[in-house]
Amino acid sequence: MGNKLMKHRMSRLQRAKQFMPFAALKGFEVLLAAVARPKEHRVELSEDQVDELNKVLQTIHCGEWVRIVYYNKQRYTELIGAVDMISAQMQIISVQGIDIPFRSIK
């Protein structure tokens, strides 16, 4: 009679792996989502707003927790954290390792 082919059954896990989605380009979806996000225009602060911001910046000390909204890569970003460093001379505040120029703060 001949050879009998023996079929061995796949486990459920092996069968499930067959139908899992395949991501040929890792990170492509993240990049596509970033490109699809609408760009925001930078808002110019009025003189009164700049004065108010300067007053607030003069009261901040290292270690204090702050909430900063700043312009970053064509959109506004909110950052909450402890101040690492603030320099009036360099016009920079550093929060959680991120350096933010004063001119970028909203």
Condensed to tens digits (0 to 9), the pLDDT of residues 63-97 reads 999 999 999 988 899 999 999 999 999 999 999 99
Whether 104 has a pLDDT exceeding 80, the answer reads yes
Cβ distance 68 to 83 under 8 Å? no
Assign 37 a pLDDT band (cuts: 50, 70, 90). Answer: confident
Please report the sign of the dihedral spanned by the C-alpha atoms of residue 44, residue 56, residue 104, residue 82.
Answer: negative
Question: How many angstroms separate the Cα of 21 from the Cα of each of 13, 16, 38, 61, 71?
Answer: 14, 10, 28, 50, 36
What stretches of the chain adopt beta strand conformation (E)? 65-71, 76-87, 92-95, 98-101
The span from the first CA to the last CA of the chain, in angstroms, equals 84
| pTM recorded for the entire structure | 0.61
Q: Nearest CA to 83 among 71, 72, 70, 99?
A: 99
